[in-house]
């Protein structure tokens, strides 16, 4: 279920890769996507012998091929022209990223990067700190989704223009809210003698609220920012 809600965030990326026409509005996903694919590919090949090659041979082949082909194809198809490196046109800009959102992104980066590193490097230790039992294969695959979010947090922290990272913030919100929903569903089944059963849900819920709040504030600021631009266009 944890991986399932993670793929909600991956689907979110796919929708914008398919529909967005401005590359400047897609750059937020590039580094995070590569980080995710690197971690999940390493985890896959590390534990490839543990996959169900007998009972689910088709699924196993699709999984291995998908996480071999996808990073290669993304690298080959990524725009590299001078135009693709240019800043967002003034007409599409939506105002600066707020300092509070940057601080929240920095905090999210520290948390998600730490959890991703521990899940990938030392899954045995994380099994003693996680709300439900972990095995190394699942822990390392889970690390990829947290690494994805760490990449998004990094983009938000260094961004200066809201329009370039608003979808990253929405992706972070979707991921945090989805994990909060997951926690609500599985809470009755959690063994509360394990560590962080309550912390997991509270942290996911608070982070989703924080991100939603700043998304709302940024959108209100966007309206104020765009009014003078619209007035000039009319004049």
The alpha carbon dihedral of 15, 20, 25, 26 has a sign of positive
The pLDDT assigned to 4 comes to: 87
Per-residue pLDDT of the chain (235 residues; tens, 9 = 90+): 888 888 888 888 888 878 877 788 888 888 999 999 999 999 999 999 999 998 889 999 999 999 999 999 989 988 888 877 888 888 888 999 999 999 999 999 999 999 999 999 999 999 999 999 999 999 999 999 999 999 999 999 999 999 999 999 999 999 999 999 999 999 999 999 999 999 999 999 999 999 999 999 999 998 886 666 555 544 4
| CA 106 to mean position of chain CA atoms | 14
Domain residue spans of the chain? 2-234
Whole-angstrom Cα distance, residue 156 to residue 95? Answer: 14
Q: Tell me the average pLDDT of the chain.
A: 90
Tokens of 169: 């913030």
**Cα–Cα dist 234/228, whole Å:** 10
Structure tokens at 190: 């959690």
Distance CA 103, CA 196 (A): 24
Neighbour tally for 49: CB within 10 Å: 8
- Which run of H or E residues covers position 206? helix 197-234
Contact call for residues 23 and 167 (beta carbons, < 8 A): no
Give the pLDDT confidence of 165-179 residue by residue, as tens digits. 999 999 999 999 999
Question: pTM score, two decimals?
Answer: 0.89
* The predicted structure's pLDDT at residue 229: 53
Give the pLDDT confidence score for residue 234 in this predicted structure.
Answer: 44
How many C-beta atoms surround the C-beta of residue 191 within 10 A? 9
Q: How many CB atoms lie within 10 A of CB 33?
A: 21
Task: Locate all alpha helices (DSSP H) within the chain, ordered by sequence.
Answer: 2-19, 30-46, 57-77, 99-121, 123-127, 136-158, 162-186, 197-234
CA distance 231 to 198: 50
For the stretch 187-209, pLDDT in tens is: 999 999 999 999 999 999 999 99
Q: What is the pLDDT of residue 38?
A: 95
């Amino acid at each position: 279920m944890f991986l399932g809600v993670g793929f909600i965030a991956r689907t979110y990326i796919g929708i914008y890769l398919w529909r967005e026409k401005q590359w400047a509005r897609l750059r937020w996903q590039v580094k995070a996507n590569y980080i995710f694919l690197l971690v999940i590919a390493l985890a896959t090949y590390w534990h490839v012998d543990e996959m169900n090659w007998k009972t689910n041979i088709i699924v196993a082949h699709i999984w291995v091929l998908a996480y071999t082909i996808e990073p290669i194809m993304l690298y080959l198809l990524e725009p590299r022209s001078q135009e693709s490196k240019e800043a967002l046109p003034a007409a599409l800009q939506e105002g600066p990223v707020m300092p509070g959102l940057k601080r929240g992104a920095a905090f999210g980066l520290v948390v998600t990067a730490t959890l991703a590193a521990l899940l990938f490097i030392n899954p045995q230790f994380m099994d003693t700190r996680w709300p439900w039992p972990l095995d190394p294969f699942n822990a390392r695959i889970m690390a990829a989704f947290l690494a994805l979010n760490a990449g998004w947090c990094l983009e938000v922290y260094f961004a200066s223009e809201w329009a370039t990272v608003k979808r990253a913030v929405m992706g972070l919100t979707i991921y945090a809210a989805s994990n909060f929903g997951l926690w609500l569903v599985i809470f009755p089944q959690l063994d509360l003698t394990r560590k962080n059963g309550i912390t997991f849900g509270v942290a996911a819920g608070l982070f989703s609220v924080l991100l939603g709040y700043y998304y709302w504030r940024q959108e209100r600021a966007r309206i104020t920012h765009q009014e003078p631009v619209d007035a000039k266009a009319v004049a």
